[in-house]
Structure 1
Amino acid sequence: MRSAAYLFRERGYSGTGFRDVIAHSGAPRGSIYHHFPGGKVQLAVEAVRYAGDFVAAGTESTIREGDPVAAVHAFVGWWRRVLTKSEFQAGCPIAAVTVESHEEAPQLAEAAAAAFARWKEALATGLMAGGCSPERAAGVSTLIVAAVEGATILCRAAHDTSALDQVAVELELVVESALKAPG
C-alpha cells in the first residue's frame, strides 16, 4: 500500500501498474494478487486509506498538543517536505486518484472523499478545542484542506514552495480570526 501511495503521488493512478508497485515494494509478484484480489482498484482504495490515515494521524497528534495554528503548520509542513524531498515530482496520492476516478470504479472517489473528510474532521476538532464554533470550524477546515491541496499543485508546477508558504501565512490569519470570533 505504501508503495502504491508513493507511486500514485508521482505518476497518478493511470500511470501506475501492478508491476510498478511490485518493483517499488520488492514484494513477491504473487503476494499482490493474494492481498488485492480486487485488482488495481482495491489496491488504490487501500493506498488512499493508508495515505489519508497517515496524514490525519500527524495532524491529530499536533492537535492533541492544543494549538490549532501549530496543527495547520504541521499539515502545511508535511506537504512542503513531500514536495521538496521529491524535487516537486510528488503531490497528493489522494488528489491523484480523485482526479482519475472513473464511473466504473466509484469506490475510488468514495475512499478519497473519506480521506479528505478525515483531514477536515481532524482540523475541525482542533479548531473547536481552541474555541471555534462547530460551523466555523467545519468551514475553516475545508478551506485549509482545499487551499493546501491547491497550493501543492501550484508548487509542483513552479518547482518552488512559495505558493504553499503564502497559503500558510493566510491560513494562520484565518485560523487566528476564527479562534477569536465568538463561538
Structure 2
Amino acid sequence: MVLSTADLLREYGASATSIDRVLAHSGAPRGSVYYHFPGGRAQLIEEAVALAGDFIADMIDTAMRADDAVEAVEAFFELWRDLLVNSDFRAGCPIVAVAVETNDDAPQLVQSTAVVFTRWQEALAGLFVRHGLAAERSKRLATFIIAAVEGAVIMSRAERSLAPLEAAAGEIRDLLTHALREDKR
C-alpha cells in the first residue's frame, strides 16, 4: 500500500491520492488500511514520503562512493529521465507532490517533505565535500541541484519533453566540473 501510495502521489498528487484509489491500485483489502495505518490517509502518505525519500537518499548514498561527483549527479538525472519517459511524462516526484499542496488537516506532511529535502541536501553536500569543495559551497550547490532537478522535472512534465531536464543537467554538469576544478587549484 505504501508503494502504491508513492506511485499515486507521483502521478496524481496528494489531494487525489485517496484510500479508495490506493486500495484499487494495490489490490489490498479495505480492512488492512486501518489495521496497518491507524492514522489513515495521512499516515499512509507520510510513510510513502519517507519511503520515496529513502529511495533517493539511498541512491545519493551509493553515489557518494563514486570516484567522480559529476557522474554521481548525472545518475540522479538519469533516474528522472527514465521515470519521465517510462511514465509518458505523467510521473513526478512524490515529495514535491505533497510539499506543494495545502495539508491543513495534516500539517505534519509538509514537515515530512522538509525532512526528506534536507536529507538529500546533506547527502549531496557530503559528496561534494568528499570531492574537495568547501562545506558552505557544498551546501549551496546541493540545495541548488535539488531545486533545479525538481523544477526541471515539473517543467518536463508540463512540456512533455526532456528538454528542461537536459538543460538543467548540462548546466549543472558544467557548474560542478568548473567548481571542482577551481577548488583543486
Using the size of structure 1 for normalisation, the TM-score is: 0.96
- Percent identity over paired residues: 47
Partner of 2:24: 23
Q: How does 1:13-162 map onto structure 2 within 5 Å?
A: 13-162=14-163
* Uncovered stretches (5+) of structure 1, i.e. residues with no partner: none
Counterpart residue identity of residue 64, structure 1: R
- Name the Cα RMSD after superposition: 1.2
Distance (whole Å) between structure 1 residues aligned to residue 12 and residue 183 of structure 2: 45
Distance (whole Å) between structure 2 residues aligned to residue 106 and residue 177 of structure 1: 40
Pairs aligned (count): 183
Partner of 1:5: 6
Q: CA deviation at 1:179?
A: 1.6
Partner of 1:181: helix, strand, or coil?
helix
Q: CA deviation at 1:32?
A: 1.4
Q: CA deviation at 1:135?
A: 0.2
Partner of 1:95: helix, strand, or coil?
helix
- Report if aligned partners of 1:66, 1:126 keep a CA contact under 8 Å in 2: no
Ranges of 4+ aligned residues in structure 1 off by more than 4 Å: none
Counterpart residue identity of residue 71, structure 1: A
* Uncovered stretches (5+) of structure 2, i.e. residues with no partner: none
- Report if aligned partners of 1:8, 1:97 keep a CA contact under 8 Å in 2: yes
- Report if aligned partners of 1:80, 1:161 keep a CA contact under 8 Å in 2: yes
Using the size of structure 2 for normalisation, the TM-score is: 0.95
Q: What's the CA shift string for 1:127-180, capped at 9, x where partnerless?
A: 111001110000000010000000001100111101100100100111122223
Q: CA deviation at 1:66?
A: 2.8
Of stretches 25-34 and 150-159 in structure 1, the one that deviates more from structure 2 is: 25-34
